[in-house]
Amino acid sequence: MNYEQLGSFYLGRVLKPGSASGGAAAEAGEGLLLYDSKDLTTHALCVGMTGSGKTGLCVSLLEEAAIDGIPALVIDPKGDLANLRLNFPQLRPKDFEPWIDPGEALRRGETVSEAARRTAGLWRNGLAESGQGPERLERLAAAAEVAIYTPGSRAGRPLRVLPALDPPPAALRDDPDALGDRVAAIVSGLLALLDVDADPISSREHILLSNLLDHAWREGRSVDFAGLVAAIQAPPFERLGVLDLESFFPARDRQALALRLNGLLASPSFAAWLDGEPLDVARLLRAPDGRPRICVLSIAHLGDRERMFFVSQLLNEVILWMRGQAGTSSLRALLYMDEIYGYFPPVANPPSKAPMLTLLKQARAFGVGVVLSTQNPVDLDYKGLANCGTWFLGRLQTERDKARVLDGLEGASAISGAAFARGEIDRLLSALGKRVFLMSNVHDDRPELFRTRWALSYLAGPLTREQIQRLAREGAATASELAPAPAPAAEPLTGRDAAAADRPLLSPGVPERFLAPKLGAERGVLVYRPALLGHARLHYANASADVDRWEERTLLAPLREPVGADPWEGATRLAARPSLALEPAVPGKFAPVPSLAAREKSYASWSKKLASNLYRTEPLVLHRHRKLRRTSTPGQSEADFRAGIQHALREQRDLRVEKLRKRYAPKLARLEDRIRRAERRVEVQREQHQEKKLAAAVSLGATVLGALFGRRARSIGTVGRAASTARSASRIGSEKADVKRAAARVTDLRHELRNLSDEFEDAVAEMEAPLDAADIELEEKLVRPRKADVEIEPLVLVWTPWSVSPEGIAEPAY
């Protein structure tokens, strides 16, 4: 069974339609349903009632994408797509046992062990039936990482949905549209949590917060949430539009908004939205080693409002990431959402609807495929879903559901210009069984009826929070793997914390500033520790690497007694320059300051050491792919560059495969037409043979009866008829030989077709390039900053807040 073809997804076996009376699909055809991955760039919709096999089909689609090296973001409102982590290559009962529902086993009259044995056998037989063995399970496990994130919870990998309000990169700040989208996404998400109307045009709350962020970012300043609350009360501008601030948004109303935001920030549950890995689409799509990732974003534990907040935030982040990618005709990534009901309604406009519609209309140009799934077809905006080129239609619950699906499918066909046989599709939809789907693809000539293949992953159903925690412990990477900079770790109480007292006196020339403590730091004893903050501009210039750029670096080095020869050894590199205050935002104790740090003259020496340290430790690391003659851009990680090379190789592969298809398609089409004509000839010959046999039988019967009962005068005629019957028998033998010759011709043509198909597949296999990111060979080039152009700003002694628990454990509070 040859389903491992380049750029094709094995989804199941083609079925022949049933009888003319409209019966269900009855007989499996010879062909496999191989879906062209490029077709997903025009998006897909999967519709089916509970029990139709919809989840199994969509899981299979995601598995095929992973095997082909295509990453996916998977929004999981029900909790059953975490099943993608349940991959058991050895198919042992003990592998299944922890995921068996004890209640279901009890209802079947089984122990959990017995249910596990039965399930393992069921999966082994199902995979064998669809021609898949343990080696394919192993291939899936090696091809991609499955990571389960639980925004707003620490059950799986926590996800920091609300980003630190640091200014975006300069390139984004210089693009008014991109900057506006970024601001709107953050503000809309924040207001959704506050249950405030988040319309960017009519909502004064949205307008005020957007202007506050835009004002700070254009000045290159970070904003923390405490500062945002203060800015709402006292904005740094006096007018909004043509109206003065007081007329547009009076102070009393701003105070109410500030109190609502402060109440949200003070809520213990809100802290989960600020912890974990950042909501960075590029990092979510790729593992640290560059492998594609199936990123399952489980939101079953959230309330409706929180779900809407997260989904709208994520969709807006996907749009921002997407617009930073180069255009392509090949599939780059997938966005899959299970049970889209409520997020894309036909009439209302929830925060998720506008970005979803943007993705359906624009994502194709960037190689991003959107796959949506629902069992409630009447509650979807079919005008928007008309942008979906592929519809997977399973068993539906009501005639009303079927009518809405047909309407939407007809709209999609009209947009693409494809023919739409409503009556035929209506008849097929009325007869679908479990795991049987009708695929309507605008890229194909006709709809295909098929039975889905067996999913590689064990479909255990929705996982509990405890089960997700277990999966997170077993295979999840730590959050620090993806964090832009490691935070200081918690540590036992130190002597300097025990000796903390009042604020120490420094030399008048020593500049000192304060980092604001994060929310919740006041639960422990707050101790301010001294650190050295350095900010520099570095000039990287290298003609051979086509590099000429300035970059900024910010380093934070803790100051301990005694200060080493180079205080910058082991310093933390910050993602952006932090917001500093002249005085502490929250009262606290102060750790001692090293004697050298209290002297003004030490800072000039440390400034020179910073320049030397940056020259040694901050080269631009560029990567080059020799065959494609591509070099990474400054700041691009190796994993991201590997992903880009992987996609470029896939584009080349898809183009070559497409050329081969165009060359072989006419030959294959001619052979298929000859086979159809030869099969019709067999039917004609068989019908003629049957007619001759029937006529001969009738003639023989008449001869025998005449011989037995006829008169003597008619016996002579009987003898003549007997001779004629003998001649008919001879012709029957000739007709039978004709049938055999026609059938042999069909067999020969089918053999010729198989040979031509094998020839095509061999030609495709010869051009296969290594598409595993880890197998791509790269060269490394270092570009160091120019010594003469290193610009160091005046150093600052920064007081960093630490929270010391009653048990004596100190944790960073910034």
pLDDT tens by residue, 393-449: 999 888 888 888 887 777 766 766 666 777 778 888 888 889 999 998 988 878 889
Mean pLDDT, rounded, for 328-334: 92
Determine contact, residues 396/48, Cβ cutoff 8 Å: yes
Report d(CA 258, CA 252) in Å as an integer.
Answer: 10
Report d(CA 530, CA 231) in Å as an integer.
Answer: 28
- Pick the residue with more confidence: 654 or 489? 654
Sheet with 333-337, side-by-side order of all strands: 27-36, 8-16, 448-452, 436-441, 390-393, 44-47, 368-374, 333-337, 72-76, 293-298, 145-149
Q: What are phi and psi of 308, to 5 degrees?
A: -60, -40
**Residue 4's CB: how many other CB atoms inside 10 A?**
14
Report d(CA 135, CA 142) in Å as an integer.
Answer: 10
Average pLDDT, the chain: 82
Structure tokens at 138: 């192993």
Which parts of 18-162 are beta strand (E)? Answer: 27-36, 44-47, 72-76, 145-149, 159-160
Residue-wise pLDDT for 340-378, tens only, equals 988 999 888 888 888 899 999 999 999 999 999 998 887
The owner of tokens 């998006």 is 43
Q: Spell out the domain ranges in the chain.
A: 35-87+136-161+274-484, 163-269, 491-619+784-812, 639-773
Q: What is the percent of the chain where pLDDT is above 70?
A: 85
Q: What is the DSSP letter of 555?
A: E
Report d(CA 334, CA 367) in Å as an integer.
Answer: 9
DSSP run (H or E) holding 601: helix 601-617
To 10 degrees, what angle do helices 204-218 and 251-266 make? Answer: 80
Q: Which residues of 97-125 are buried (b: 16+ CB within 10 A; e: fewer)?
A: eebbeeeebeeeebebeebbbbbbeebee
- How far from each other are the two terminal CA atoms of the chain, in whole angstroms? 58
Q: What is the DSSP letter of 389?
A: S
Report d(CA 735, CA 676) in Å as an integer.
Answer: 21
Confidence of residue 773 (pLDDT cuts 50, 70, 90): low
Question: Is the alpha carbon torsion for 686, 687, 690, 695 positive or negative?
Answer: negative
Structure tokens at 618: 């901050």
Type of residue found at 241: G
Residue-wise pLDDT for 199-253, tens only, equals 788 889 999 999 998 888 888 777 777 788 889 999 999 999 889 999 999 999 9
Mean pLDDT, rounded, for 564-569: 90
Confidence of residue 121 (pLDDT cuts 50, 70, 90): very high
State the fold for domain 35-87+136-161+274-484. Rossmann fold (3.40.50)
Residue-wise pLDDT for 437-475, tens only, equals 999 898 887 888 999 999 999 999 999 888 998 888 775
Determine contact, residues 559/530, Cβ cutoff 8 Å: yes
